[in-house]
Chain A
Amino acid sequence: MNTRPEHEDLKPLAPTLASIPKVDPFVVPDGLFERFPHQVQARVTTHVPGLRWSPWVKRLALALPVVAVLAGAWWMLRSTDAPVEQVAVVIPETTVDELELLDDPEALASLYASEGAGVASANVDLTEDELAAWLETEQTDLSQLITEL
């Protein structure tokens, strides 16, 4: 260890540090450097080298989970494009009857005919004053209505 009393290069920056002699204040345990090589040799001979993976195996080990996650994500996205599975819905019998009725062209035609007849046969009895009040409420242009009719 260097025992130089001063370090000229440090003086301007750190005068106190530069004035401290460089010594090694750490005491080495007795006989350490005689024992130590034997201790190392003992550990070396009992040391079983761990399984060393090649860099490619390490890369593969890292890549596999990523691929698995990507594959899972792709499968999930793909399955959302597929037809949605039918969900069991309980439909009331009356609704089923009505739907069956609408499915029959003749029944549907008769329904429209009866609705049309219903509208046509609606009896609306209004006095002239009531009619005028209704037109005023609706803000209907009477002359335009007459032209359209």
Chain B
Amino acid sequence: MSDMSDAELMALFRKEDTRHYAFNLIVRAYQKRLYAFVRRMVTDPDETQDVLQNVFLKAWTGLERFREDAQLYSWLYRIAHNESITHLKRMKRGLFVSESSVIERLTTTLDSSEHFNGDIIQKKLQKAVMTLPTKQRAVFTMKYFEEMKYEQMSTITGTSVGALKASYHIAVKKIEAHLTRPDQTM
């Protein structure tokens, strides 16, 4: 991971001869954190890679217009957030199915994936997260797993802090209800 600041990375990016080098450093600096978020949203490892590639491709084309008063990580996270939601919507449209069918598919992916090594309670938590509507799932992931501040979440999602707090509160209650439900199979 590069020790350069966002300003230094952007200064390198703006020079024609170091543009690709700078972008490579940016990818290396932020890929792990963005991957974790996209993976929690999309679940499937191959689809996560596709979405993340699209995120960085969009970043490449949009980085020229990036305002340096904003945080580069927040800006990239915003693209990742939008791309994940777009991917899930496209999945729903592609399958011509309801939200519950998409959830079922994601859950099946989780069950069959050799890339999930959580215990029973972790799997149950992930399945509970998947039952949340797409945007609420993003809010829960950002707050619960990433421990992001509401102000930063507001910048990323374009939603007010009050609405985010309410959404998170509802999501937590839904997940708690899911976790304590005795009839749920794991």
A14 at the interface (CB under 8 A from B): yes
By the criterion of a CB under 8 Å from any partner CB, how many residues of chain B are at the interface?
A: 40
Could you tell me if B173 and A25 are in contact, using CB atoms closer than 8 angstroms?
Answer: no
Given A14-B173, A23-B118, A28-B35, A44-B179 contact (CB < 8 Å):
no
The A13-44 residues at the B interface (CB cut-off 8 A) are: 13-17, 20, 22-29, 32-33, 36-37, 39-41, 43-44
Which one, B8-16, B90-98, B120-128, B156-164, is touching chain A? B120-128
Could you tell me if B31 and A25 are in contact, using CB atoms closer than 8 angstroms?
Answer: no
The B1-49 residues at the A interface (CB cut-off 8 A) are: 20, 23-24, 27-28, 31-32, 35-36, 39-40, 45, 49
B172 at the interface (CB under 8 A from A): yes
A2 at the interface (CB under 8 A from B): yes
A25: contacting residue among B35, B61, B118, CB under 8 A: B118
A47 at the interface (CB under 8 A from B): yes
Could you tell me if B23 and A44 are in contact, using CB atoms closer than 8 angstroms?
Answer: yes
Could you tell me if A25 and B53 are in contact, using CB atoms closer than 8 angstroms?
Answer: no
Say which size band chain A's interface belongs to: 20 to 34
The A84-100 residues at the B interface (CB cut-off 8 A) are: none
Could you tell me if B123 and A40 are in contact, using CB atoms closer than 8 angstroms?
Answer: no
Cα separation A23 to B176 with both chains bound (whole Å): 18
Cα separation A25 to B145 with both chains bound (whole Å): 12
The B100-129 residues at the A interface (CB cut-off 8 A) are: 114-119, 121-123, 125-126
- Binary contact readout A105-116 vs B (1 if CB under 8 angstroms, 0 otherwise): 000000000000
* Minimum distance in angstroms from B86 CB to a CB of chain A: 16
